[in-house]
Amino acid sequence: MIVDSYRFLPRSFRPIYEDPQPDGIDPVWTPFEKRLSESRIALLTSSGMYLEGSQDSFDLERERAEPTWGDPTFRAILAPMEAIGLAHLHISHDDILSDPNIALPVDRLAEAAANGVIGEVAPQHVSVMGFQGASLEGWREMAAPGIIDLLHRDAVDGLILAPV
Amino acid sequence: MPVLARWIEAAGIPTVVVTMMPDLATKLFTPRTVGVEFPFGHPFGLPHDAVMQNRVLDEALHVLAGADRFGTRVDIDLEWPIPRKEAYKAWQPPEPSPITKWWIERNMLSR
C-alpha cells in the first residue's frame, strides 16, 4: 500500500507541499550499528509540546503578529509528563491532550524497553513547534545544535521524529 | 522536520521520520521514512489505542534499526477508522492559523 500524502490536506494547500525546496540533496546516512535491544532511543515531536509549570510556551503571540514567523526554539521533555501544554496554531489540540502518545509515544516506548525490544528509553525527549514559516535559519542556528548536543550528551543511539 | 532529521543524521545519530506526508519527506531527502495515512496531529494513531500506536512505533523501530540504505521508505497499511470527512474536520485548529489567514488575504491559495 502507498500512503496518500494528501488525503487529509485541504485541496487548496496542496500546491504548497508538492514542490518543496530541499535544504540538501546529498545522502546523509549514519548506520544503525548496535542491536536494537541494546540501544537507547529518543523521540522528537513537532507538536509544540512543553511542560506546563516548568517551561515557557512557544511564542504564539509573535506568530500571530508575524504570520510568516514560527518559534524556532526547542524544549527537552522529561518524564514523567504530568502536565503538558501544546503551543501549535495549525492543528487541533484535543486528541494530543487526551493522549500525548499519539504525538510522543513515551508510554509505548517504555513498554518496548520493558519487553526488551529496545535497550532503554532516553532520559529526555525533544519538542519543537513545527511551523517555521519562511525560514529555517532559526532551526539551523539554534535548535539543531542544541538538540544534537542534548542527544550526544544522553548517548542516544537512534531518534524517531514525528511531525504533526 | 525532514531537514532536522538530515542535520541530526549528519551529526552521527540515526533517524527515522514517521509522517502523514511521506511524499514530502522523500522529496526532502529524509534518510528513513515511515508513512501513515492518518489525519494531521496523529502520527502514532488514535488516542488510547495502544495497539495502533504500537504498530506504528514497531515499524518505526524496525526501519530505524533495519533499513540498509539512504532513502528507505515504508508505508503502513492501516486505514483511519473514522470517516474521512469527519477526520478532516477534526484535525484542524478551531480557527485558521495566522499563515492561512495571511495566504487567504493575499489570494495565495489555489481554488
Per-residue pLDDT of chain A (164 residues; tens, 9 = 90+): 999 999 999 988 888 888 888 888 899 999 999 999 999 999 999 999 999 999 999 999 999 999 999 999 999 999 777 899 999 999 999 999 999 999 999 999 999 999 999 999 999 999 999 999 888 999 999 999 999 999 999 999 999 999 99
Q: Cα distance from B51 to chain A (closest Cα, Å)?
A: 9
| Best CA proximity match to A127, nearest among B90, B1, B6 | B1
Q: Cα distance from B47 to chain A (closest Cα, Å)?
A: 5
Q: How many domains does chain A have?
A: 1
The answer to whether residue A13 is domain-embedded is no
Q: How far apart are alpha carbons B87 and B82 in whole angstroms?
A: 6
Residue A136 grid coordinates: 529555517
The answer to whether residue A147 is domain-embedded is yes
- Chain A residues in contact with B58 by the CB 8 A cut-off are 112, 117
The answer to whether residue A30 is domain-embedded is no
The answer to whether residue A1 is domain-embedded is no
Interfacial B residues in 34-73 facing A (CB < 8 Å):
35-48, 50, 53-54, 56-58, 60-61, 64-67, 69-71
- Chain A residues in contact with B61 by the CB 8 A cut-off are 36, 41, 112, 117-118, 160
What is the pTM for the complete model shown?
0.97
What is the predicted ipTM?
0.96
Q: How far apart are alpha carbons A125 and A127 in whole angstroms?
A: 7
**Domain span at A48:** 36-162
Strands (DSSP E) contained in A87-137 are: 120-121, 124-128
The answer to whether residue A95 is domain-embedded is yes
The answer to whether residue A77 is domain-embedded is yes
Locate the chain B residue with the closest alpha carbon to A61: B98
The answer to whether residue A98 is domain-embedded is yes
